[in-house]
Amino acid sequence: EVQLVESGGGLVQAGGSLRLSCAASGFTFEDRAIGWFRQAPGKEREAVSCISSKDGSTYYADSVKGRFTISSDNAKNTMYLQMNSLKPEDTAVYYCAAVAEIMLDDLTTLKDWLHFGRWGQGTQVTVSA
């Protein structure tokens, strides 16, 4: 079965850390961009961090730069998001996704990720003040 499964979400106090994992099955990350996205209640889904398969370049949303780190272990077909110095405004459902990079106009074009990508089911991250 082709799927992405996230884990590692939970409740944490402001200033704390969480590490999200996303395991892929039924396909590999080869030639695919991978990324983490989030959606808070009443807000649109946004890109948090992505990695290009072309050159390994990364994207981070301004709001998480210096606090979050994306990585992947292709041997395990797993991607990670290390989240440090968490803030209440980081509270959201976090989704991992993978997409054939040839389908992207740009690494952060959300509509292309939504249309062509494979998505996990999401994991809740709640940061208390």
Tens-digit pLDDT profile for residues 70-97: 999 989 999 999 999 999 999 999 999 9
Identify the DSSP state of 92.
Answer: E
- Of 125, 46, 55, the closest CA to residue 83 belongs to 125
Identify the DSSP state of 24.
Answer: E
Q: CB of 72 within 8 A of CB of 78?
A: yes
**Which stretches of the chain are assigned E, i.e. beta strand?**
3-7, 10-13, 18-25, 32-39, 46-51, 58-60, 68-73, 78-83, 92-100, 118-119, 123-128
Q: CB of 48 within 8 A of CB of 60?
A: yes
Segment 5-60, tens digit of pLDDT: 999 999 999 999 999 999 999 999 988 999 999 999 999 999 999 999 888 899 99
Structure tokens at 5: 């499964």
